[in-house]
Structures are given as structure tokens and as C-alpha cells.
Amino acid sequence: MRVSSMPATASTINNPVVPGFHPDPSICQAGSDYYLACSSFEYFPGVPIFHSRDLVHWTQIGNALERPSQLRLPPETTSSGGIYAPTLRHHDGRFWLITTNVNDGGHLLSTATDPAGPWSDPIRLPGVPGIDPDLAWDDEGNCWCTYAGVEQIRIDPHTGESFGPPRRLWSGTPHAKAPEAPHLYRIGDYWYLLIAEGGTERGHGVSIARGRTPNGPFEPCPANPILTHRGTDHPIQNTGHGDLVQAPDGSWWMVLLGVRPGGGTPGWHVLGRETFLAPVSWVDDWPVVGELSLVMPAPPWPLQPGAVTPVRDDFDLSELAPCWISLRRRPAETCTTKERAGWLTLHARGGSLDDHDVTFVGRRQQHLSCRVRTLIDPAEGRGGLAVRLDEQHHYDIEAASGEVRVLARIGPLHTVVASHAMPAGPLVLRIEVAAVQELNDARTGPDTLTIGVEEPNGTFVELTTLDGRYLSTEVAGGFTGRVIGMYASAGTIHFDWFDYEPLDH
């Protein structure tokens, strides 16, 4: 896989630090290393795991839930269902990850000695309701699981057994909706309860309370919410779902989710909720969140080499890189790099991207502007390249029998936008995403998607240009972002390579 590097300077960093559909970040520190986990919803494998040495540049090292025995997403799992909000912790020499599968029995708890994996098959926590579970250990060795609501129950993390009824703790600002994403920490003389509130849309925020014990009572911070961009014109919106970490030099930092809306009113975000970084200071034993911006001062330590972004995959390895995700499952008989050497082979299940069980392999769109190309051999079936938000919102370019078609699904509307005759044999499909730079009027969309093919001589044939707002969360709803990838809708399709080229400047 060919890669490119994102430049870093000695004085500034670029936010988001993990761009694209990487929501609900949870972070832990072990020695000089940091590890981060995110939600994955209906995609398999689940819960991407990242590593960093400087909090700024992150590399995906694996997925915590990568085996069918760890992650079951039934075909009826809806988009934006599946895996919600993990918490990642390092305790007693092990890494602990707790998350919720809302379509298969609730909370899952896995452990690993190496966060790159393998992770254990998860244990269940049948006595713990809700979503957004957190883990914290007190000085007596008790393990407390706190979850959205906000409630708490003591558990045995080795067996999943719970002890006693849930205890209501603190639910944030009065009348604020959706108190969720709790994280409990022992810092100095206090236990701190950090939560998100206001819903994960424009009203999102982070609030905090403190108490003398992990069970409270909790005193709210007088400056709550300690972070929110609600009601502002800040380029980063929906800020919330934070997690705190202390660096070896004693400084504190927060990872959190946010979005980058584009276009006119109301603003559309297309990459999903992304992971941002902000500094934290302490005043009167309360955390104060510092500057959060797209370009911000770098931490006071040397930055590591630029973050590695996968650009091209020639499918020369026996297993797919961890950035590749599929819908609900990925059985080896439908997706393999071993059938034709140096090619990715997909065998069709569902008949289109409208189907829950379609054979699809994609990667998150991580840049507001990018160019995606793939060399496809459709001689044995029908398939192509797609930009997907969910089953009802996707744009596809599909090849079969000497013809290429552009398909658009927008809610209840499904249409063939354009078609083009091509000679039989392998061909290059191309989608170019361009963020809108100037607003023509208040209704201007966030970006455009130009879709076409490349002739054998390299000439690009544009088949259509589509408005990107219809592949946005503001139109489709839900919790995910765009995923761009390859699919098979009939028979067998082979892909020689996939190239993702960032075009952001």
C-alpha cells in the first residue's frame, strides 16, 4: 500500500487529528504511547484502534472487533446501528475496551495485552443497561461501569457480573437533553464525571462535575458547559463526547468529536463526526478547555513524522489493511485477495447498495476534497465504485457488459443519471470530490462529486457532476459519514488497485 504524509510544523497542528468518520473518541496512555478507539456502527470490522506518540499524528494499528465471534451484526442491523461509543483504558497491565452492540445484546467487554490485537472474545454485561459505557477502578480495586443517563453500577470486569441496582449520579445541566458519554476519572483529591449533553447535533457540549468518591455526590462545574460551539459561526461544530488524558510532561488534553459543516444554510457535514484535539488547563481544580480550532498551537514537545494516510492499495497482501471496512460482515467467500493474485475479488450477495447485505469494501472519506480511482475487471459480473452514507443515500458508478452507468439513490428516489458505452475489458472508474469554495447563495451545497471513467489513453470522460449535500448527515440523518469503496452487485468482480488522493490544500 502506497502512503503519503501529512506535513507538520514545529509551531502548529491541523485539526481534526483523526479526520473522517471517526466519532466518539476514547483515549488512554501507556508509557510514552497513546491509544485511541472510535465507534464503527454497522461496519465490520469494528472499533478502529489508533496509536500515537505525540497526540497529533495517529496511525491505525488494527480493529478491536475483527472476528465474527467478537462482532455479530445481523443483516437487519440498520445503518447507524451496531457498535456505539467505546471506552478504552489501560489498567493493571492490560488494555480494556467496553462498547455497546445495540443490535446484539448490549455491552461487550474485551481485553488485550497489545492494543494492535488480538483482542479477546468479549464478555457480556447483561445486568448493565443503556449505551456509552465507561470503566473506572477505585483504590480498593472496585470496577465501576457508568453509562448514558447518567447511571453507574459496580461490575466484575472479568466475568461481566454486576452487583446491586444501578445508581443515578448526575445528568448534567438541567433541561439539557441526552446526557451521555460519561467518563469517570480520579484526578488529585476529586473524582471527576465528564459527560456530553445537548444531543450530538449543533447543541452538543461537554460538562463536568466532581465529587469525593466515585459514586458522588457530584458538584457541577460553575462554568458548564466547559466546551460547546452552539450558537456560533465556528468552523468546528457539534463539539462533544470528550475524553481526557494526561501527557508524561503533566499537561492535560481532551479528544472530542466535532464536524466541519460546509456550504450555505443550514450547513452540511459529509465526513461524519471526526476526532479533534484541544489543550486543557486547571483552575481551582476545574478543567478549562483551551483553543480548539482547525489550526492550533502544537504541544510543547517534538512532533513525530507526519501522519501516514493510505493512498493506494494494490491488494498484494493476503489480508486487507485495517482501514478497509464492509457492511455488517465480511465472509472470506465473498471478499478475498487470494483468488486472483494482486487483485481484490468480490462475489455478489445483495443486488445493489440499496441492500443491507451487499458485498462492499470501502474506506472512510477523510478529506473535504479528494480523487478516488480504481481499476475494475467486470467481465464476470456487475459492480463498481460507490460513495455511501447509507442504503438510501449513495452515488455509484457501475460497470457491466461494455456499459458504465452512474446511479444515484436519494431517499425514495433511485435513478440512472448517465450511461456510457465502453469496450470490454478492465477500465478505470473515477470519482472526484471538490469542496465548494464560494457560496453562490445561502443554499449552496458543501461539495460536488464528479463521476466518470478514464479511457485507455488516460483521457477522463466526465459522465455527471452531482451535488454532495444529498450524501450528508443533515439530509440522511444518522451518526455515520461517507465511506468510498468497491462493490459487487452481480456475479464476480475483480479490482486491481484502489487509489485515494487527498486534494485538500
Q: State pLDDT tens for residues 278-304.
A: 999 999 999 999 999 999 998 999 888
Number of H helices, E strands in the chain: 1, 38
What single string gives the DSSP state of each residue in 392-426? TEEEEEEEETTEEEEEEEETTEEEEEEEEE--SS-
Q: What is the pTM of this model?
A: 0.96
Q: What pLDDT is stored for residue 309 in this prediction? A: 64
Check whether 306 has a pLDDT greater than 80.
Answer: no
3 pLDDT tier (thresholds 50, 70, 90): very low
Cα gap 188→190, rounded to integer Å: 6
pLDDT at site 68: 97
Is residue 10 within 8 A of residue 22, CB to CB? The reply is no
Nearest to 285 by CA among 215, 209, 217: 209
* % of the chain surpassing 90 pLDDT: 92
Measured distance CA(243)–CA(59) in Å, rounded: 19
Length of the chain (residues): 505
Choose the weakest-confidence range: 227-236, 436-445, 476-485. Answer: 436-445
Give me the chain's average pLDDT, please.
95
Segment 32-39 shows an average pLDDT of 97
Contact assessment for residue 99 and residue 47, using Cβ atoms and an 8 Å cutoff: yes
Yes or no: say if 305 and 362 are a contact pair by the CB < 8 Å rule: no
Q: In this structure, what C-alpha cell is assigned to residue 247?
A: 501527557
Region of poorest pLDDT, from 67-71, 252-256, 298-302, 433-437: 298-302
Query: Alpha-carbon distance 494 to 384, whole Å?
Result: 10
Q: What pLDDT is attached to residue 10?
A: 63
Q: What is the rounded CA–CA span in Å between residue 127 and residue 125? A: 6
Q: Which of 151, 180, 313, 377 is catalytic?
A: 180
C-alpha cell at 457: 489513453
3-class DSSP state for residue 468? helix
CA 417 vs CA 173, 177, 363: distances in Å: 48, 41, 24
Burial of 82 (0-12, 13-18, 19+ CB in 10 A): buried
- The closest of 234, 102, 114, 220 to 172, measured between CA atoms, is 220
Q: How many CB atoms lie within 10 A of CB 495?
A: 28
pLDDT computed for residue 308 by the predictor: 54
Has residue 416 got a pLDDT over 60? yes
Task: Please check the confidence at residue 319 and state whether its pLDDT lies above 60.
Answer: yes
Q: What pLDDT does residue 269 have?
A: 98
| pLDDT reported for residue 456 | 83
Domains parsed from the chain with CATH numbers: 34-305 (2.115.10.20), 309-502 (2.60.120.200)
Q: Which residue, among 161, 47, 25, 178, has the nearest Cα to 100 in the 3D structure? A: 47
Q: How far apart are CA 21 and CA 482, in angstroms?
A: 7
Give dist(CA 460, CA 6) in Å, integer.
Answer: 27
CB 143 within 8 A of CB 151: no
HSE toward the beta carbon, residue 147, CA cutoff 13 A: 22
Residue 107: in which H helix or E strand, if any? Answer: strand 106-112
d(CA 421, CA 419): 7
Residue 2 confidence (pLDDT): 52
* Arithmetic mean of pLDDT, 346-359: 95
Find the radius of gyration of the CA atoms of the chain.
23
Q: Is 132 an active-site residue?
A: no
Tens of pLDDT, residues 163-222: 999 999 999 999 999 999 999 999 999 999 999 999 999 999 999 999 999 999 999 999
Q: Is 180 a catalytic residue?
A: yes
Neighbouring-strand partners of residue 407? 396, 416
Task: Quickly state the pLDDT bin for 423 (edges 50, 70, 90).
Answer: confident
SS3 41: strand
Model pLDDT, residue 4: 46
Which pLDDT score is estimated for 333? 95
Q: What confidence score (pLDDT) does residue 7 get?
A: 44
Cell of 144: 465501576
Tens digits of residue pLDDT in 434-476: 999 999 899 999 999 999 999 888 899 999 999 999 999 999 9
Distance CA 305, CA 341 (A): 33
Q: Which residue has the cell 496512555?
A: 29
